[in-house]
Structure 1
């Protein structure tokens, strides 16, 4: 087989390498072309050198190109994969820093909440540019695979306004299933069968079976509470399981910021999170992790390049959906996964226009969703709160309506639990002014927002958050890795 895959945001070096090696685990794909594109020439050259090394080490005919000219990369592409972060870590830092001034403590801030909504405002205009280029220069009916957050908003915009065949992909379901299999004592992940459905980062394991035996709420609670690690790291997640009756896919830290109950007061935050790793609830945890990862990669690049000389091991192919979807579409080997698509009746008690994440099967005819799923009422109610925020956020990003943007933020569950309307109005003004370089649709609104800020009387505070850690130096990271290696 010979076709072209374009990867936008290919400068996300580690993730691009994973996608690349996963796809090349499919024997029929050795003759394809990968076209890498990114706004950073520096990152592009680093990842191209790594991928070229992989191709040479495995004696493959695979073609790898790299260019900052996005349209050139998209020309003739059958598949387009996006893993972009518009505004980079600079804008992301404001997504965390500014809401903290108003008492809003986020762990990740990339899905909803104040940070996720502004992230969507930056991404959506760019997503629509991608879609325009796909329609104009890619292969007819090219498929757009979006890995970038905020997943639901980006996918919503691409489908409704970009008019491109789009699917959103995430790995939260797989990670949650791995946890469940472990606590239930499964010998392999294949022993666990499940139906997981909802919206991205708020999907719910509504049917669990271990070797064909249905697993109930009480058994699952007991298994998690008995686990020596998860009982400590996933306290909030287990509490939601007890109250809702089903387990959520999302990590302790992620889940905490989509709900109005667990991060509304500093003492509550420290009660429910665990500081053994950022993902369990640390204030700005993913921002710290991302900063450290970038610094580590820049410093240790020669080691990453050397590691690329090893042969591809198909047994280590990851559970990221992209390679399995492409394999199913091109070879007709059926793949079952969980995909972000427009609802259209798949989940009976969520809106038709919402972007849902739910089970589906892929073959040469495309992605075929399992329809007629009904969520437990509490799960549906929680998803609905986020869907309403996502819908307003997408429409605000398209229209550049700053008042609608403020209403979207006001209706966010955690923001509403912490901040007053007056505080939200000022916070959004401050975020739009700070991120104006990445928000072209709000250019007309920035002068008035800046004027309002100069006259505002809403009090703010300089607050690092309830559980903030400093970014570690390269030396500290090296010492930690050495200690772990010696201990293990």
Structure 2
């Protein structure tokens, strides 16, 4: 087989390498072309050198090109994969820093909440640019695989306004299944059969079986509470399981941002989170992790390049969906996964225009979703609250309507639990002004926002959050890694 895959945002070096090696685990794909594109020539050259080293070490005919010219990379592509972070860590820092001034403490801030909504405003104009190029220069039946957050908003914009065949991909379901398999004493997730459905980062294991035996709420609660690690790290997630009756795919820290109950007061935040790793609820945890990862990679690049000289181990192919989808589409080997698509009747008690995440099967005829799923009422209610925010956020990003953007932020569950309308209006003005370089659709609104900020009487505070950790230096990371290696 010979076809072309374009990866936009290929400068996300570690993730691009994973996608690349996963795809090359499919024997029929050895003769394909990977076209890498990114705004950073520096990052492009780093990842190209790594991928070239993999190709050379495995004696493959695979072709790898790299260019900052996106349209050139997209020319003739059958598949386009996006893993972009518009605004980079600079804009992301504002997504965390500015809401903190108004009492809004986020762990990740990339899906909804104040940070996720603004992230979507930065991404959507760029996503539409991608879609325009894809329609004009890629293969006629091209498929767009979006890995970038905010997943639902990006996918919604690409399908509804970009008019490109798009599927959103995430690994939250797989990670949740791994946890469940572990607490139930399964040897692997192969022993689990489950239906997991909802919206991205709010998907729910609504049917769970271990070797064919149904697993109920009480058994699952007992298994998690008996686990020596998860009982400590996933306190909030276990509490939601007790109250809702089903387990959520998303991590303790992520899940806490989508609900109005657990992060609205500092003392409540510290009660429910765990500081052993960023993902369990730390203030700005993913920003810290992303910053450390970038610094680590830049410093340790020679070691990453050397590791690329090893043969590809097909047994270590990851459970990221992309390679399995491509394999199913091209070879007709059926793949079952969980995909982000427009609802259209898949989940009966969620809005039809929403982007849902639910089970589907892939073969040469495409992605075929299992339809007619009904969520438990509490799960549906939680998802609908987020969907309403996502819909307004997408429409605001398309129209450049700053008043609609403020209403979207106001209706966010956590923001509404913490902030007054006056605070929300000022916070959005402040975020739009700070991020104006990445928000072209709001250029007309920035001058008036500046004037309002200069005369506002709304008080703010400089607050690091309830549970903030400092970014660790390279030396600290090395010492920690050495200590873990010695202990292990």
TM-score between both structures, scaled by the size of structure 1: 1.00
> Match for residue 153 of structure 2?
153
Q: How many angstroms does 1:12 deviate by?
A: 0.0
> Match for residue 190 of structure 1?
190
Q: How many angstroms does 1:66 deviate by?
A: 0.0
Q: Deviations over 1:435-482 (max 9, x none)?
A: 000000000000000000000000000000000000000000000000
Mapped partners of 2:418, 2:305: distance in 1: 46
Q: Deviations over 1:235-281 (max 9, x none)?
A: 00000000000000000000000000000000000000000000000
Asked if the contact 2:151/2:168 (under 8 Å) is kept, the reply is: yes
User: 3-state SS of the aligned residue for 1:185?
Assistant: coil
Mapped partners of 1:336, 1:406: distance in 2: 39
1:451 matches 2:455: no
Q: Deviations over 1:207-240 (max 9, x none)?
A: 0000000000000000000000000000000000
Q: How many angstroms does 1:188 deviate by?
A: 1.7
User: 3-state SS of the aligned residue for 1:361?
Assistant: strand
> Match for residue 246 of structure 1?
246
Q: Deviations over 1:110-129 (max 9, x none)?
A: 00000000000000000000
Mapped partners of 1:189, 1:456: distance in 2: 54
Gaps of 5+ in 1: none
Alignment of 1:64-103 (within 5 A): 64-103=64-103
Mapped partners of 2:31, 2:143: distance in 1: 19
Q: How many angstroms does 1:395 deviate by?
A: 0.1
Q: Deviations over 1:335-371 (max 9, x none)?
A: 0000000000000000000000000000000000000
Q: How many angstroms does 1:141 deviate by?
A: 1.5
Q: Number of residue pairs matched?
A: 488
Asked if the contact 2:11/2:38 (under 8 Å) is kept, the reply is: yes
TM-score between both structures, scaled by the size of structure 2: 1.00
Mapped partners of 2:373, 2:180: distance in 1: 21
Q: How many angstroms does 1:421 deviate by?
A: 0.2
Q: How many angstroms does 1:416 deviate by?
A: 0.1
Mapped partners of 2:193, 2:318: distance in 1: 19
User: 3-state SS of the aligned residue for 2:157?
Assistant: helix
Asked if the contact 2:331/2:364 (under 8 Å) is kept, the reply is: yes
Q: How many angstroms does 1:23 deviate by?
A: 0.0
Mapped partners of 2:347, 2:249: distance in 1: 17
User: 3-state SS of the aligned residue for 1:208?
Assistant: strand
Mapped partners of 2:141, 2:286: distance in 1: 35
Q: How many angstroms does 1:164 deviate by?
A: 0.1
> Match for residue 438 of structure 2?
438
Task: State the superposition RMSD in angstroms.
Answer: 0.2
Asked if the contact 2:155/2:166 (under 8 Å) is kept, the reply is: yes
Gaps of 5+ in 2: none
Runs of 4+ in 1 over 4 A off after TM superposition: none
Q: How many angstroms does 1:189 deviate by?
A: 1.3
User: 3-state SS of the aligned residue for 1:247?
Assistant: coil
Mapped partners of 2:188, 2:248: distance in 1: 21
Mapped partners of 2:223, 2:482: distance in 1: 33
Asked if the contact 2:178/2:188 (under 8 Å) is kept, the reply is: no
Mapped partners of 1:77, 1:56: distance in 2: 23
Q: How many angstroms does 1:187 deviate by?
A: 1.3
